[in-house]
Amino acid sequence: MIHRIDVQVTTPLRATEVRERVETAITNLFPTADVEERHGELVGTAHSMEHFAERLREQNIVDAARDVFVRTLEGDTFAFDLKKQAAHEGVVNFSVGNPDELGDLHVRVRVEEPDAEAFIDLVAPGSESGE
């Protein structure tokens, strides 16, 4: 099956942060991302969530991720925030509530093909028990 998706990861780049470390936070979870600096933030663009989906399975958080994706789904797009420090270590940690003082990674996924619901099923399939 062909997947056509656009993943955009944005995060503030504070004066106290080292650009390479912040870029690593993006590329540890989205290794194919092209990262550039724009107006005080880093913006990563990718067209795959394969590595991210593997991390969800390795960390046993597929159901939690699915809940976040489905809850934020609007049309062909879903979005979520990740803790920057955890991402730097290659760990997926969804950010809920107040953002970290250095800012979170904001991830926006637009799905062209298949439809967004089918793509979510691929990245974060429902659990065996159907919950």
pLDDT of 98 reads 75
pLDDT of 103 reads 84
In sequence order, what are the beta bridge partners of 111?
Answer: 5
pTM: 0.92
**Residues 99, 121, 87: CA angle, nearest 5 degrees:** 30
Give pLDDT tens digits for 100-119.
777 899 999 999 988 899 99
Query: Where are the chain's structural domains?
Result: 4-123
The CATH architecture annotation of domain 4-123 reads 2-Layer Sandwich (3.30)
Give pLDDT tens digits for 5-38.
999 999 999 989 999 999 999 999 999 999 999 9
HSE (side-chain half, CA atoms, 13 Å) at 16: 3
pLDDT of 102 reads 74
Structure confidence at residue 69 as a pLDDT band (50, 70, 90) = very high
Nearest-angstrom CA–CA distance, 94 and 112: 24
